[in-house]
Amino acid sequence: MFEASIRRTPRPQDIVGMSTQTLRDTFQITQIFVPGEITGHFTDLDRLVVGGAMPTNKPIELPNHKETGRAFFLERRELGAINVGGAGRVLADGHLFALDKLDCAYLPMRTKSVSFTSDDAKNPAKFYFLSCPAHAAHPARMMKAAEATPVKLGAVETANQRTIYKFIHQGGIQSCQLVMGLTALEPGSVWNSFPPHTHCRRTEIYFYFDLGDKVLAHFFGEPAETRHLFLHNDEVALSPNWSMHFGCGTGNYKFIWGMAGENQVFDDMDAVKPTDLR
């Protein structure tokens, strides 16, 4: 079920003396998927909720939580979900969305009833979702992975050859403030979002998956005061708006990026020179 506490974000100067475990407790979420259950983590990062639904033998209903302060969870919230497991379905106020792996569904504010189902309990769907406050309702939609326009970036020489798939954004599924998509690295490439950047106008959250038994170092913090976390498969890194967010793995992988904040412009970034990192 949803955690009762909110992940509180420290100020940049507060992380200087944090221990490794304190950094992990603050910026890392290690358990997103539990078979047959739904998890959710409230944050103070633009009031984003990070969660996962992993239905097995029966549907899982999206519950409300007192932290919403509303009669039902999406009364004043919107939600984006991307399936990273077997085939499954999302049922939202009578709208049925069949999602294969890497497909995305968007649910607007005022959606009262939401349930998640797997087509095969032995190969369950794994719905990773983000939810943020909303002040306008847009149509519920889904987008197949093949429908997302791919953007190829990077190069073999810099070990960051990757393809970006945008789902919920200004040119795709319309939302109030949520932006969501995924990035897939090619074999032999290990760096993501490098050279790094910040954007004080919005929060960003990374969910790393398809790592297998590989390990990933996620870097964050201010450019002159960097920190890192070691992440494994199906784990999340929380990035406040003052923090960079980039990573390097022991092999290729995928990650879902999600943002909420002052605008939805994907390339609204403040670049950081690699030579300025400390």
Q: The pTM is what?
A: 0.94
Q: Which homologous superfamily is 2-276 in?
A: Jelly Rolls (2.60.120.10)
pLDDT tens digits, one per residue of 12-64: 999 999 999 999 999 999 999 999 999 999 999 999 999 999 999 999 999 99
Secondary structure (DSSP) of the chain: -EEEEEEPPPPGGGGTT--HHHHHHHHEE-----TT-EEEEEESSTT-EEEEE---SS-EE----GGG-SSSTBSSEEEEEEE-SS-EEEEETTEEEEE-TT-EEEE-TTB--EEEEES-TTS---EEEEEEE-SS----EEE-GGGSPEEEE--GGGT--EEEEEEESTTSB--SS-EEEEEEEPTT--EES-S-EE-TTEEEEEEEES-TT--EEEEEEETTEEEEEEE-TTEEEEE-TTSEEEEEESS--EEEEEEEES---TT--EE--GGG--
Q: What is the pLDDT of residues 91-132, one digit of tens each?
A: 999 999 999 999 999 999 999 999 999 999 999 999 999 999
